[in-house]
Amino acid sequence: MTTRPGSQADAGPPAPQPAALRAVFLVGFMGAGKTSVGEALGRLLGWPFEDLDDRVQAREGRTIQQIFEESGEAAFRRAENTALRELLAEHGDVARVVALGGGAFVQPENAALLQRQGLPAVFLDAAPEELFERCRQDQQPERPLRRDLEQFRRLYDLRRPHYLKASLRVDTSGKDVESVAEEIVSRLGLR
């Protein structure tokens, strides 16, 4: 696995013991593959997959882009935190894989919620240029915080130290989603 300068292959606090592990949260920047890897990981484990952004949009009755445009980023972050709290309250014994939006884990209250519950966050990482290119190829609507490569790189550099607090870092550069999912299963000891 390639490690970017100044980063660690494994980051953050140790992951919970596999016997107790009933959820995995995927974090990382735009284009990291949180949704596609999450779906593959869910299939591999036989666990349902949920994208927190989908929950936010359903709760708000608007797209993320509309929330940003009509109410601003602060309102979106509040809605995101509320959705995460709801999801964790429902968690119980239901195993699941959850993808958090690119800025969700950067918010200290969200990271603290996962840590208090002993749930691992897996940071999916790649070079900002690769992430930007993945976003350009993405068929989804325009992402509110992606405008040009320089702005994208600056935001990535601001958020990366927060992502590195995750339980585990997985470099996704040049890898297909299935091999990334397999790596997560192996490194978390879920087999």
**pLDDT value of residue 1:** 34
Q: Residue 137 domain-assigned?
A: yes
Decide if pLDDT at 104 tops 80. yes
Q: What is the pLDDT of residue 4?
A: 39
Among the listed residues 86, 42, 51, 59, the one whose alpha carbon sits nearest the alpha carbon of residue 178: 42
**Pairing verdict, β 23-27 and 121-125:** parallel
- In a domain, residue 7? The reply is no
Has residue 4 been placed in a domain?
no
Q: Are 33 and 172 spatial neighbours (Cβ–Cβ below 8 Å)? A: yes
Q: Which of 187, 165, 123, 171 lies closest to 12, judged by CA?
A: 165
Q: Is 191 part of any domain? A: no
Question: Which CATH number belongs to the domain containing residue 153 in this structure?
Answer: 3.40.50.300
Domain containing 86 equals: 18-186
The residue with tokens 């995927």 is 26
Beta strands in 88-155 (DSSP E): 96-99, 121-125
Q: Does position 117 have pLDDT exceeding 60, yes or no?
A: yes
| Per-residue pLDDT, 46 | 93
Give just the sign of the alpha carbon dihedral 138, 144, 145, 148: positive
Residue 72 lies in a domain: yes
- CA dist 49 and 57 (Å) reads 16
Q: Could you give the C-alpha distances from 179 to 1, 65, 94, in angstroms and in order?
A: 12, 31, 25
Distance CA 1, CA 109 (A): 31
Q: 73 pLDDT exceeds 80?
A: yes
Count structural domains, the chain. Answer: 1
What confidence tier does 92 reach under pLDDT thresholds 50, 70, 90?
low
Within a domain: residue 105?
yes
What own/partner pairs with CB < 8 Å and gap ≥ 24 does 76-81 have? Answer: 77/103, 77/107, 80/52, 80/56, 80/104, 80/107, 80/110, 81/107, 81/109, 81/110
Q: Which 3 state secondary structure label does DSSP give 131?
A: helix
Decide if pLDDT at 140 tops 70.
no
9 in any annotated domain = no
In a domain, 32, yes or no: yes
Predicted confidence band of residue 146 (pLDDT cuts 50, 70, 90): low
